[in-house]
Chains A and B, each alone.
Chain A
Amino acid sequence: MAPPPVSDAQLIARVIVEDDRHAFAELVRRHQSAVRACLRRLTGGNHALADDLAQDTFVLAWRNLKSFRQEAKFSTWLYRIATNCWLASARKRTEELLGDRDAELPDDAGDDNQSMASDAGGDPARGATLHVDLTRAMAVLSDAERAAIVQCYHNDLTHEEAAYVLGCPVGTVKTHVLRAKQKLKTALAAWAPE
């Protein structure tokens, strides 16, 4: 009989009490996909930067695991660290971000385009085009608006969880989401159904 799966809480306890690196590696393995995907959205599809930030996220998680009070899910706590890493990086790169945003579109966004196809009426070409347009449109948003959209839609968090991740009141999250959606609807007006 297969042994029962070890929960995140048990792995975290092993890391804290026994300094167990194998347990932490298992945590990284479990959450790497979600954290990297979240950062890819936040960085506008810059896979290399997203992976660097994801690595920083897990190293910070290792250093601060003792301060994790379980008031949120472990994945939500990781999103919070990831978002802070991205914001710090974005502040450093503000001038680049204000430059030619088209240049930020990744050359290797093909994987995302394929998965997007199924959400565009099953037409792969249409889905990929919508994905490219959406990535461009996301670049129009402010950092706070983009972060709110990523947490509430891509990561499917509640407004309360998103507020925890972003470190701001729930009302602020709702405002950011509303504004972001208005901007996106304007930018993607051609995609709106008649």
Chain B
Amino acid sequence: MTANLAPQDDRWLEDALRADAGYLDDAGFTARVMDALPPPAAVPRWRKPAVAALWALAAAGTAIALPGAFLDVARETYKLIAAQPVSLPQIATVVVALGIATWSATVYALRSE
């Protein structure tokens, strides 16, 4: 609601200004708008698999060109985790939380379908 409070002598003017024009029937307006929209971008069917293949190729190329890089990353990650004082119950909690998150995401994705 608007905060346009007015003195009593403005009421007649405000009532006139607020007069409802009533619902305007669509009368083909929506169809005209939809016709005026730019046409959908034509994306060829082969584009998605081609992009995925290119990414896979790039990953494989990087792995071949820099074989030590992946091992270094894995080693440093392990060191980082090992440096933390983690107990068995904490690991179990994380595993359970990840399981619940995965389950929820799967259910949500299936429902969205």
Contacts and interface: CB of A to CB of B under 8 A. Distances in A.
Interface string B14-29: 1111111111111001
A153 B21 contact: no
Interface stretch (A72-80, A86-94, A98-106, A111-119): A111-119
Interface in B14-64: 14-26, 29-30, 32-34, 36-38, 40
A154 B18 contact: yes
Interface string A24-58: 11001100110011001100000000010011001
A149 B17 contact: yes
B72 interface: no
Contact of A55 (B4, B13, B32): B32
Q: Could you say which of B4, B25, B26 has the most chain A C-beta atoms within 10 Å of its C-beta? A: B4
B4 A115 contact: no
A44 B98 CA distance: 60
A54 B33 CA distance: 9
A58 B21 contact: no
Interface string A103-142: 0000000011001101110000001001100100000000
Interface of A: 19, 21, 24-25, 28-29, 32-33, 36-37, 40-41, 51, 54-55, 58-59, 62-63, 111-112, 115-116, 118-120, 127, 130-131, 134, 149, 152-154, 156-159, 177, 181, 184-185, 188, 191-193
Given A28-B30, A62-B37, A134-B17, 10 more contacts: A24-B34, A28-B34, A58-B33, A127-B19, A130-B16, A152-B2, A154-B17, A158-B3, A159-B3, A191-B12
